[in-house]
Structure 1
Amino acid sequence: MSDLPERSIDFVFGEDDLLRTRFAVSPLTELVAATYVLRQPRRFPPHRRWVESAAPRVAGLRLGLLFAVNPLGRTRWPNFNAPPPLNPHPRIEDELARVASTDPEIVHADLHRAYPEGIPPEARPFLDDTEPAVSELVAQMSAFWAATLKPWWDRMSAFLESEIAARARRLVTTGGVAAFADLDPTASWDGRTLSVAAVRMEPRTVHLGGRGLLLLPSVLAFGAWPRVEAPWDPALTYQPPGIGDVWLQHVDAGVALADLLGRRRASLLRTLDRPASTRALADRTGWSPGGVSTHLGVLLRAGLVARRRDGREVNYSRTATGDALVARN
């Protein structure tokens, strides 16, 4: 293990936990992180282009409750407004519905945990009149999302899907050493325990006990963010390398993909929005089966498509990498 501060969150893996480690994209995590980036833009220079786009859009929005549950300058924060997702690719509408249906007892317990010295006035509505406060919070989150993140979400989610595809492949083929090695400079893996420096959190040892660990790559979250509070399963948010590229302007999508792969291979990759055989693809495109087969071979070797035999027929489909490439372009 590399040298780490004494204060750390240690995720201890049991016999099956590595196999049960999984990935997801979390729109709510991006929303929460966005509130910090927008209020402290100088701390996050890679996101300057996004801030320039988003800041004018929030002028006039009512965001008091949203900022109250995402306070600045704290070592503890409420979590009920961004629970770990239940499936790998949730829609923001479904995630906001989850927040809206949070049990008031969970809201109260979460606030008392985050503010052991006493609930500040701006967060008191969540204790005094919980259900209306949570309903208003969700309305503010929805408006904030529409103004700041919705215009960018296709590009952000494509970046995250690409990260998940690459890291999940490493986890499956080479195990935790490759999958966890570069999660974050503060993280270290010794074959059994994933340790994350927690300078601003209370140190804790979390025995996964067969639950596995949920890994949440994030564009806007800063550093590694361990999620260890009940009633949610353990999770770790981390920031992949290259996040600044998300905000760069790009040329026309169709031109970019064609330049990369060639016009026909790019068209073929887009056509594979559902699995198909060589013959079916030839019928769709009007090209010869031999030509289609040649292009599929190139895409297969590049890891952009996969093939599966179904009886006497071989069907091709896009891989996660292929999906991410098409979505990003």
Structure 2
Amino acid sequence: MTVRAVRAVQAELAFSVGDLARMRFVVSPMWEVGPSMRLLRSGHEHPVHRAWTAQVRPRLAAAGLDRGWLAELVPPSGYVPDFINPAPAGSSPSLAEELTAIRATPADRLRGELDRLRDEQGRLGPRLRVLYDDPGRLDRVVEEIETYWEVALAPYWVRIRAVLDADVFHRARQVAEHGAGHLFNELHSSVSWDDSTLRLADRRGPLSRRAAGTGLLLIPSVFTGPVPFTRVAPPDPPQLAYPARGVGGLWIPRRPVARGSALAAVLGRSRSLLLAELDHPATTTELAGRTGLSAAGVSQCLTALRDAGLVSAHRAGRSVLYARTSVAEALLGASAAP
């Protein structure tokens, strides 16, 4: 991920008919990993993501992820090695697919990107120095990314993915109705389109089609912001990660079902109550404290809900976080409809 925190330079990327034909949207788990880790490490209380950071930062520290491999790869500002954002082959790669591509990073490319990181940051952290000498340690990086995903993103992925999918649907409709030029002019205030050329305001450094490769991948992200990020690593197509629409409502609590609703007649009062309480992922102990149910009773209900595909479980250190699935979200929404 080449984070261009852009300064008073306008980059221009020319498009041929072939480049436009190769332009596509991608939903990428790894484009949430890097920017979200940067936000957590910043220490700032982001006005939109405050609820998420308040929940995740303590888990991050408890798991030691605030001082691990990923923390060294994602500094508070500046360049992030491109190999952690491999070019997606499809429109919606899984985390496992992206991690497989990361594992396959050639040693010379890995060292070259770590060289750039060292040049920009002044030094490499102790783990990255080990990785530089032994690229085989990339497996350790991948293992830590998997742990970070379970702690910080997997319990929230249903909500995040809904925002990303809605953004892609909206943008695709813009292209269909108004063309690519309209899409780019509406994408972000720093992005504009004119005379077959994409212009990125305030991007640090120039950008040419020869240096960038063909086509363009457009990647919505809930944690990227306030300006788009770019990744340029030929022969891969350039990637433009931009802030997704609808992020402002991402963490607003949704409790569409009342405790005495008709859903309770189907699932039972305790199970419907627990689903309603899972606006944010929670442990068995937290749910017991909020609902007044016994921990054993909560555990029994969560097991039944998980078997039915209504909740998912995600390990965070010694705890297990439970979250609503997309099926549960649809069920609760339907039960709340007039």
TM-score normalised to the size of structure 1? 0.70
Q: C-alpha displacement at 1:187, in angstroms?
A: 1.0
Q: Deviations over 1:279-299 (max 9, x none)?
A: xxxxxxxxxxxxxxxxxxxxx
Match of 2:17 in 1: 15
Q: C-alpha displacement at 1:254, in angstroms?
A: 12
Structure 1 residue matching 2:186: 3-state secondary structure: coil
**Contact 1:13–1:208 (CA under 8 A) maintained in structure 2:** no
1:1-329 map, 5 Å: 7-42=9-44, 44-63=46-65, 64-74=68-78, 76-116=79-119, 119-122=123-126, 123-132=128-137, 134-199=138-203, 201-207=204-210, 211-222=214-225, 223-252=227-256
In 1, the alpha carbon distance for the partners of 2:213 and 2:77 equals: 35
Are the structure 2 counterparts of residues 183 and 254 from structure 1 closer, same or farther at C-alpha, using a change threshold of 3 Å? farther
Are the structure 2 counterparts of residues 30 and 124 from structure 1 closer, same or farther at C-alpha, using a change threshold of 3 Å? same
Q: How many residues of Structure 1 are paired with residues of Structure 2 in the alignment?
A: 255
Are the structure 2 counterparts of residues 37 and 328 from structure 1 closer, same or farther at C-alpha, using a change threshold of 3 Å? farther
In 2, the alpha carbon distance for the partners of 1:90 and 1:11 equals: 26
**Contact 1:221–1:238 (CA under 8 A) maintained in structure 2:** yes
CA RMSD between the two structures: 2.8
In 1, the alpha carbon distance for the partners of 2:223 and 2:90 equals: 20
Are the structure 2 counterparts of residues 24 and 87 from structure 1 closer, same or farther at C-alpha, using a change threshold of 3 Å? same
**Contact 2:211–2:234 (CA under 8 A) maintained in structure 1:** no
Choose 44-53 or 208-217, whichever is displaced more: 208-217
Match of 1:276 in 2: none
In 2, the alpha carbon distance for the partners of 1:98 and 1:228 equals: 16
Q: C-alpha displacement at 1:252, in angstroms?
A: 3.8
Q: Deviations over 1:220-252 (max 9, x none)?
A: 111211211234221100002320211111124
**Contact 2:72–2:125 (CA under 8 A) maintained in structure 1:** no
Structure 1 residue matching 2:52: 3-state secondary structure: helix
Q: Deviations over 1:74-128 (max 9, x none)?
A: 3x22111122322111111221222122221221122123333665243212211
Match of 1:308 in 2: none
Choose 208-217 or 44-53, whichever is displaced more: 208-217
In 2, the alpha carbon distance for the partners of 1:11 and 1:48 equals: 35
Q: C-alpha displacement at 1:172, in angstroms?
A: 2.5
Structure 2 residue matching 1:88: 3-state secondary structure: coil
In 2, the alpha carbon distance for the partners of 1:6 and 1:192 equals: 22
In 1, the alpha carbon distance for the partners of 2:213 and 2:37 equals: 34
In 2, the alpha carbon distance for the partners of 1:105 and 1:147 equals: 31
Q: C-alpha displacement at 1:153, in angstroms?
A: 0.4
**Contact 1:17–1:209 (CA under 8 A) maintained in structure 2:** no
**Contact 2:164–2:221 (CA under 8 A) maintained in structure 1:** yes
In 2, the alpha carbon distance for the partners of 1:154 and 1:235 equals: 24
**Contact 1:62–1:140 (CA under 8 A) maintained in structure 2:** no
Q: C-alpha displacement at 1:217, in angstroms?
A: 0.4
In 2, the alpha carbon distance for the partners of 1:138 and 1:177 equals: 38
Match of 1:288 in 2: none
Q: C-alpha displacement at 1:326, in angstroms?
A: 5.6
Choose 114-123 or 145-154, whichever is displaced more: 114-123
Are the structure 2 counterparts of residues 220 and 254 from structure 1 closer, same or farther at C-alpha, using a change threshold of 3 Å? farther
Structure 2 residue matching 1:115: 3-state secondary structure: helix
Structure 2 residue matching 1:233: 3-state secondary structure: coil
> What amino acid maps onto 1:17 in structure 2?
D
**Contact 1:221–1:239 (CA under 8 A) maintained in structure 2:** yes
Match of 1:268 in 2: none
Structure 1: unaligned runs, 5 residues or longer: 256-322
> What amino acid maps onto 2:252 in structure 1?
L
